[in-house]
Chains A and B, each alone.
Chain A
Amino acid sequence: MLKLTKICKSFSNTQVLKDISFEIPKNKIVGLLGPNGAGKTTIMRIITGFLTANQGTLRWKRKIIDPRDPSFRSLIGYLPESNPLYMSFTPVEYLSFVARLKGISKTNLVKEVKKVSQQTDIASVLTKKIETLSKGFKQRVALSATLLGDPQLLVLDEATSGLDPKQILEVRKLIKKLAKDKSILFSTHILPEAKAICDQILIINQGRIVLDSDIKKVRNLEKKFIQLTQ
Chain B
Amino acid sequence: MTLLRISDLKTQFPTPDGIVRAVDTIDLSIGERETLGLIGETGCGKTVLGLTLMRLLQSSTKTEGTIIYKGTNLLKISEAEMRRIRGEEIAMILQNPTTSLNPVMRVGGQIAEAIRLHQGLSKRDAKEKAIEMLDAVRIPSPSIRVNEYPHEFSGGMKQRVMIAMGLACNPSLIIADEPTKGLDVTIKSQIMKLLKEVTEERAMLIITHDLGVARELCDRIALMYAGELVEYATTGEIFEDPLHPYTRGFLGSLPSNGLVPIPGMSPSLINLPDGCRFHPRCGHATELCRRKHPDMIEIEDGHFVRCFHA
Note whether A and B form a binding pair. Answer: no
List residues of A whose CB falls within 8 A of some B CB: none
